[in-house]
Amino acid sequence: MCVADDVLDGIELNEQPWFRHDAEVTATGLLAMIGRLPVLVRECLVVSWRTSRLDSMVSFGSTVLSALCTAFGLLATTDVLSRLFSSVPTAERLVAALPAIGAVVGAMVLRSAFSEVGSWARARLDPLLSQAVDEEVVALTTRVELAAFDDPDFHDQVQRVSMTSRGPTMLLWAVHATISGFTGLLAISGALGVLHPVLLPLILLAAVPSTWASIRSARVGYRTSTGVAAARRRRNVLDNLMTQRPAAAEIRSYTMRSHLLAEFGRIYRWITAYELRAVRKQQLTGIWGDVFGGLATGLVYTALGLLLWSGQVELAVAATAVLAIQRAGSATGQALHGVNQAYEAGLFYEDYLRFRAEAGDRAEATGHRAPPADADRIVVEDVTFAYPTADEPALSGVSVRVSPGEVVALVGGNGSGKTTLAKIISGLYLPGQGTVTWGGVSHQDIDRARLRERIAVIAQDFTHWPFTAGQNIAIGRHDSGRSLEEALAASGASDVVTRLAHGLDTMLDPSYRGGTDLSGGQWQRIAVARGLYRDAPLLVCDEPTAALDARSEHAIFETIRRHAAQRTVLMITHRLASVRWADRIYVLENGKVAEEGTHASLMARKGIYAEMFTLQSRAYTEEG
């Protein structure tokens, strides 16, 4: 096999959000893990109980009962062997042993039954718990302030919790395995302690090699996971690029297939070689564990032989001890594996808890006053706003006003703060300093969710929802007084819908059977129809015609002008010819209001606006 070069050794492992978890688990000793186990068990019981009390009781109760059946079965086995090894005739021995044999069989049947019932209850808990956690994560994420999505730290948290959202279910299974293993080992040890006290340390001695091998093998596995984490991430990115629709056209246009396949294969070979080295280490660990396990078992059996020879234990007890040693090894392995998994799952579960707390702290702040009838009478006073990671504020000391029925335009260069100001006026962002009022109600007091019910936004960057055309238009507003037909006609989207195979019922996503995609201009018309259908008192248009041709752009602006006759409109656009009819124009530069006035007054001022308008006009009038 061709082993790839070690170029990827330089990849930063902390690119992977759970790298710190792998590193922590790798460096943690067994005693530290066991010391943390009570906390994990408590957390697991709480989340399990909250999800389903009945399934939780059945699951944990069955684990305990199954272990008790194991202990009872061992004691009954001793009785069976004592009867069979007695000196009476064979027939009498068999008859005498029948009740004990029945007890052994009954214990085995009950043990299996309790085990199956417990597995069934845990299998029920798994999807219920996953559903509860996923719904809570989505509910919390959609409730945070919009500004949180401009914070890289919050994005990291969302990505981490989305990748480890099964942390609670992982913890549930791991804790169950741990409890099952330790309970089984405790039951076996108790049974042997009843038979003879010296048998208990023999059980522990027999479990030492498997314990060592299990821990060491787990460490190798975690180190392997850590070592290839960044390479796996890159491999998965390439996999998605080559197998999903968004990049398919560009891969073919730029003949990238051979290059991507070569890179994909190189990374995969590197990962495979790394994992094969780990497999070799784990196999060596297993071999040494088996060797030491054989020596330990030999010592245990020698000790049993000496006890039997000296008459300290009976033959039946010694035979039972042999069976118990085998079962104890299995229970020990299960318990140790559960401890490892519980510790790792607990770290992921803590991510989930931290996310819940962080999302709660970032929950959208809102007042309780209903928006007044004139909520489109807006006053922005000395507002400053900064994005979480920005060195400079996006807005600084901005003051604007919007009166009911007015058309107000925000213009300026890229990065001047137009869209940020529009989001503050729309109640999506809260100002860092200054105040915003809607109908005299401040941003601290107004119910922002109800406020946004009275605002429609037509944006350049809008969502292409994987729903039908009708759902894409009516989404979020099914109580509008405007019919879909009116919105379609006003936006010019009627022609778009007419050409669709199933009209408004056509799925606008080609990755689904019967679905289709639209051109940029067609999607823009759908977005305009969405905003008009909302039929809100305030319409915010943020570059609503960026993807349209000149004729379509003119038609849309005429529609907005007609709409403005009965509504308040906030217009953001680089096409200054489209804002000549605005009642008031604000020119933003570097996050501040540089100029304010009507088109005529700003042209007469011969400032920034006049320069921009003249440059755009000249581009259309000069001959190339």
The secondary structure of 556-615, three-state, reads HHHHHHHHCCCCEEEEECCCHHHHCCCCEEEEEECCEEEEEECHHHHHHHCCHHHHHHHH
The answer for residues whose C-beta is within 8 angstroms of residue 506's C-beta and 6 or more apart is 468, 469, 497, 500, 514, 515, 516
- Does residue 146 fall inside a structural domain? yes
pLDDT in tens, 538-561: 999 888 776 666 677 777 777 777
Tokens of 357: 């707390």
pLDDT digits (tens, 9 = 90+) for 313-352: 777 777 777 777 767 767 776 777 777 677 667 767 777 8
CB atoms near residue 503 (< 10 Å): 12
Residues 349 and 372 in one domain: no
The highest-confidence range among 371-380, 467-476, 483-492, 611-620, by mean pLDDT, is 371-380
Query: Total domain count for the chain?
Result: 2
- Both 333 and 372 in one domain: the answer is no
pLDDT range class, residue 420, cuts 50, 70, 90: very high
Average pLDDT over residues 87-110: 76
**Structure-model confidence comparison of residues 374 and 331, the more confident one:** 374
Q: The CATH number of the domain where 357 resides is what?
A: 1.20.1560.10
pLDDT at 476 (0 to 100): 72
Top-confidence residue, 46 or 612: 612
CATH number at residue 438: 3.40.50.300
Co-location of 336 and 405 in the same domain? no
Q: Are residues 212 and 87 in the same domain?
A: yes
pLDDT of residue 161: 73
Give the mean model confidence (pLDDT) for residues 74-94. 68
In-domain check, residue 161 = yes
Task: Read off φ and ψ for residue 57, nearest 5 degrees.
Answer: -65, -45
pLDDT at 149 over 90: no
Same domain, 84 and 127: yes
Say if 86 falls within a structural domain. yes
Residue span of the structural domain in which 242 resides: 19-361
Residues 348 and 167: beta-carbon distance below 8 Å: yes
Write down the pLDDT at residue 23.
Answer: 53
pLDDT at 1 over 50: no
Pair 403, 265 in one domain: no
Neighbour order of strands in the sheet with 407-412? 455-459, 538-542, 568-572, 407-412, 584-589, 592-597
Judged against a pLDDT cut of 60, whether residue 472 lies above it is answered with: yes
Domain final residue, candidates 361, 376, 391: 361
> Are both 87 and 115 inside the same structural domain?
yes
Same domain, 333 and 447: no
pLDDT digits (tens, 9 = 90+) for 280-315: 887 888 788 778 877 877 777 777 777 778 777 777
